[in-house]
């Protein structure tokens, strides 16, 4: 019989809030290695790492594009200032704040990268986690096609460097639908229903609701697909000037990316808009074939909401990125019987061994080594496989 | 004239809550490198990395030794469970929870290590920061002198590996004073005043308050100092059995550490007790001569408060550790004029260059390179110093 009181106490303490979890041995080290490898790629492209705090005043956390995260953010009362703070639910807005305040005198374009945990009040269907790890990079202050393209290529290069395979990029033009619907003379209810139908890619409902916009919306929805086919179809769609400019820009971006990465799978979805509401230029999502969910997304947005600083960048979602990688393998571990000298132990670690020191005189070192999950035992001065 | 509205907006957004800060370029990357280097040392000694969540239910966060952090912890209401959660103010108790729940079937001793941010409601005089970074290791389930010594030597080896110089270790016996005062027949007010006087190392006040305990307390306070001198003086102090056993254990620990690290500065303070209230065995603090504050501390405590699992380990305080290291130096950066091929750029990064790509046709590449703070320019196919 086990100890029922102690067991139930253990069970109680094991219970973490929904969407929060412990990352256990092998996985935690693996995740940390992958994060550092991704940021090493960003650093090699000149992106400087910054680390904003976990918590900020609401006023700064929800400025500009940050307003979208307000509902998802845990609030804390600051006893020092008596003001409300939020635990960050996203890091992009913090990077923009650093760029426009602490680093406002740095030359543009400014390249910054980051990694850190974010917390959300509620999970969503796509991600049951409420604590997420974000890794990202932002190029603040460039505005050329080359500046649009750099974050896409960097994200691809970084993901490939850690071993993600079968990458694909889905390009979007988040301004096209708002531009078109902004010109549509529809009552608010119909407009909302139409927008929802477009988001759900529900072609027959879009046809029914769109009125005079029907031909152009149908053509746009039908044009989603492999980038070259999509661009060909989009040429013949009759679009207002601002929407045409957005599509032309996507064409330039796709051609530039393809020139560097001819083998990269790339699609264009001209009506995709969900989650890109704050993007003012292009948007993109990253996928790995066979892996559920987005690896990350990015694009260009106006940092200050108005005509101010623009930024192009991306955020990788580490929960999905880790799913796209093989499970980590337990490395070899060498058991050092009790009494092994510190000098010997240090020399073995310098050779690359992970050493597990015996802390009590053991009866049979080999048994103790295998009980502790070691692959090797130091025997007669040399590591021997168990 | 600048734009006053926009400037005041910037100032407002720059304002972070007291004790919270942005870690900026060079420093953020430096801190991350140092954390990974410290944890690489822990990993080489067989400590497996784990990552508990930022937030847990109060019930688990304040279990056992965690109760001490209750006043320092930010609370959040969990809308999912309708229960109160806390943002962790310390990670040690989370590691103990993982060891006794998720990893309860793993063989003992269990070696775990971790790194992460913690948040505190209020700062203290020693540390104005409310967001702190902890890096630590715990050896759960060993109870020998070798198990006491391993975390001390690991902490020293890890700190030395990142370049911390002039290290010293201060050993304490946190049970000695509680044992002595537990036997003293003093009224509660006097006891509290005496305890405070001991904590402040105020010898004359201790003499005045201690009554029959005066000789032994005075001798103990006088015995603080270099470890060999201290142990010599402590031999002649007349102590109750439990206190004598604690001192003997410290002697064994000091001798074992010194056998491996004969040059390491080591002191013993037999009355030091502050902040070690939850330690049931030895305690230790790490210092670097000339650097303000502790680099970290550790020791042995009972994970479950009762007679259950014991753990010996340490936590490093990264704010102090970083102060003990030289400032990071900006690495070389190579400017690639607009139009440099992606292939060339990739080859240069593979050689170890940090590349900064030109994103618009520049008039004079050398000027643009120097405006962006680059040290080198790609000229005629090769990096040239500016």
Could you say which of B100, B103, B117 has the minimum Cβ distance to residue A54? B117
When pLDDT is cut at 50, 70 and 90, the band that residue B307 belongs to is: low
Tally of CB atoms within 10 A around A178: 16
pLDDT of A356 > 80? The answer is yes
What digits encode the pLDDT tens for the residues A270-316? Answer: 998 777 666 778 999 999 999 999 999 999 988 875 557 889 999 99
CATH of B16-160+315-329, one of 3.30.930.10, 3.40.630.30, 3.30.565.10, 3.30.70.890: 3.30.930.10
Percentage of chain A surpassing pLDDT 70?
95
Cα separation, B210 vs B184, in Å, equals 9
CB of B57 within 8 Å of a chain A CB? The answer is yes
Nearest residue on chain A to B348, alpha-carbon basis: A44
DSSP letter (8 states) at residue B65: G
Q: What is the mean pLDDT of chain A?
A: 92
Could you say which of B43, B87, B342 has the minimum Cβ distance to residue A29? B43
When pLDDT is cut at 50, 70 and 90, the band that residue B306 belongs to is: low
User: Shortest Cα distance from B181 to chain A (angstroms)?
Assistant: 32
Q: Helix crossing, A241-260 with A176-183: angle to 10°? A: 170
A296 in Cβ contact with A133 (< 8 Å):
no
Burial class (CB in 10 A: 0-12, 13-18, 19+), B18: middle
Average pLDDT over residues A363-378: 97
User: Shortest Cα distance from A17 to chain B (angstroms)?
Assistant: 6
pLDDT of A217 > 70? The answer is yes
B137 in Cβ contact with B96 (< 8 Å):
no
CB of B40 within 8 Å of a chain A CB? The answer is no
CB of B71 within 8 Å of a chain A CB? The answer is no
Average pLDDT over residues A147-160: 98
What is the pLDDT at residue B153? 98
Cross-chain residue pair A29–B48, CB shorter than 8 Å = yes
What digits encode the pLDDT tens for the residues B246-293? Answer: 999 999 999 999 999 999 999 999 998 777 666 778 999 999 999 999
Residue B364 among known ligand-binding residues:
no
Nearest residue on chain A to B354, alpha-carbon basis: A44
Cross-chain residue pair B45–A357, CB shorter than 8 Å = yes
What digits encode the pLDDT tens for the residues B45-91? Answer: 999 999 999 999 998 899 888 888 999 999 999 999 999 999 999 99
Q: Which residues of A are annotated as a binding site?
A: 90-92, 120, 134, 138, 274, 278-279
Average pLDDT over residues A225-231: 97
What is the pLDDT at residue B276? 66
When pLDDT is cut at 50, 70 and 90, the band that residue B10 belongs to is: low
Percentage of chain B surpassing pLDDT 90?
82
Using a CB-CB cut-off of 8 Å, the residues of chain B touching A359 are 109, 142, 144, 146-147, 150
Q: What does the angle CA A98 – CA A156 – CA A331 come to, to the nearest 5 degrees?
A: 95
What is the pLDDT at residue B61? 92
| Most trustworthy range by pLDDT among A136-150, B264-278, B293-307 | A136-150
In terms of phi and psi (left: phi > 0; alpha: psi -120 to 50; beta: otherwise), the region of B189 is alpha
What is the pLDDT at residue A308? 74
Tally of CB atoms within 10 A around B79: 10
Window from B16-25, B118-127, B294-303 with minimum mean pLDDT = B118-127
**Structure tokens belonging to residue B68:** 């001490």
Chain A stretch 197-236, residues whose beta carbon is closer than 8 A to a beta carbon of chain B: none
What is the pLDDT at residue A277? 65
What digits encode the pLDDT tens for the residues A56-102? Answer: 999 889 987 788 899 999 999 999 999 999 999 999 999 999 999 99
Q: Residue B323: CA atoms inside 13 Å, Cβ hemisphere, count? A: 15
Q: Which residues of A are annotated as a binding site for L-histidine?
A: 90-92, 120, 134, 138, 274, 278-279
Phi then psi for residue B199, to 5 deg, are -60, -35
What is the pLDDT at residue A11? 57
Could you say which of A25, A131, A359 has the minimum Cβ distance to residue B49? A25
Using a CB-CB cut-off of 8 Å, the residues of chain A touching B54 are 20, 54, 87, 117, 119, 131
What is the pLDDT at residue A186? 87
Could you say which of A14, A25, A48 has the minimum Cβ distance to residue B48? A25
What is the pLDDT at residue A276? 66
What is the pLDDT at residue B184? 82
Would you list the domain boundaries of chain A?
A: 18-164+288-329, 175-271, 334-385
Percentage of chain B surpassing pLDDT 70?
95
ipTM above 0.90, yes or no: yes
CB of B170 within 8 Å of a chain A CB? The answer is no
Q: What is the mean pLDDT of chain B?
A: 92
CB of B376 within 8 Å of a chain A CB? The answer is no
What is the pLDDT at residue A124? 82
Cross-chain residue pair A39–B32, CB shorter than 8 Å = yes
User: What SS3 class is residue B29?
Assistant: helix
pLDDT of A4 > 80? The answer is no
CB of B354 within 8 Å of a chain A CB? The answer is yes
Helix (H) or strand (E) holding A110, with range, is strand A110-119
Average pLDDT over residues B309-316: 94
User: What SS3 class is residue A30?
Assistant: helix
CATH of A18-164+288-329, one of 3.30.1330.40, 3.30.930.10, 2.60.40.10, 2.30.30.40: 3.30.930.10
Name which of A104, A107, A91 is nearest A49 in CA terms.
Answer: A91
Both ends of chain B: CA-CA distance in Å?
A: 34
What is the pLDDT at residue A307? 52
Cross-chain residue pair A373–B51, CB shorter than 8 Å = no
Using a CB-CB cut-off of 8 Å, the residues of chain B touching A26 are 48
DSSP letter (8 states) at residue A263: T
Residue B11 among known ligand-binding residues:
no
User: Shortest Cα distance from A165 to chain B (angstroms)?
Assistant: 19
- Chains A and B form CB pairs within 8 A to the count of 247
């Amino acid at each position: 019989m086990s100890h029922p009181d102690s067991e139930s106490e253990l069970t109680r303490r094991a219970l973490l809030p929904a969407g929060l979890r412990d990352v256990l041995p092998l996985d935690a080290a693996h995740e940390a290695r992958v994060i550092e490898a991704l940021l090493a790629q960003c650093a090699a492209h000149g992106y400087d790492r910054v680390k904003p705090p976990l918590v900020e005043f609401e006023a700064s956390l929800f400025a500009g594009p940050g307003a979208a995260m307000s509902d998802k953010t845990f609030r804390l009362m600051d006893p020092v200032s008596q003001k409300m703070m939020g635990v960050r639910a996203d890091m992009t807005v913090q990077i923009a704040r650093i760029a426009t305040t602490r680093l406002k005198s740095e030359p543009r374009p400014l390249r910054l990268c980051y990694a850190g945990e974010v917390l959300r009040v509620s999970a969503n269907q796509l991600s049951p986690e409420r604590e997420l790890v974000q890794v990202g990079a932002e190029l603040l202050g460039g505005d050329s096609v080359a500046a649009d393209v750099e974050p896409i290529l960097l994200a691809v290069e970084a993901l490939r460097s850690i071993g993600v395979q079968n990458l694909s990029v889905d390009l979007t033009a988040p301004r096209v639908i708002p531009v078109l619907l902004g010109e549509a003379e529809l009552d608010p209810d119909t407009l909302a229903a139409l927008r929802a139908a477009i988001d759900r890619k529900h072609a027959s409902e879009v046809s029914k609701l769109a009125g005079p916009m029907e031909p152009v919306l149908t053509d746009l929805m039908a044009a989603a697909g492999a980038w070259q086919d999509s661009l060909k179809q989009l040429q013949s769609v009759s679009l207002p000037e601002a929407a045409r400019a957005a599509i032309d820009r996507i064409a330039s971006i796709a051609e530039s990316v393809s020139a560097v990465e001819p083998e990269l799978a790339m699609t264009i979805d001209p009506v995709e808009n969900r989650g890109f509401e704050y993007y003012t230029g292009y948007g993109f999502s990253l996928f790995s074939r066979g892996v559920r969910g987005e690896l990350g997304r990015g694009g260009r947005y106006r940092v200050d909401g108005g005509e101010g600083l623009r930024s192009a960048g991306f955020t990788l979602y580490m929960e999905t990125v880790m799913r796209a990688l093989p499970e980590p393998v337990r490395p070899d571990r060498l058991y050092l019987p009790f009494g092994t000298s510190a000098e010997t132990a240090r020399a073995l670690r310098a050779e690359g061994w992970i050493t597990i020191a015996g802390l009590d005189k053991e009866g049979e070192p080999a048994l103790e080594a295998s009980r502790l999950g070691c692959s090797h035992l130091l025997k007669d001065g040399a590591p021997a496989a168990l």
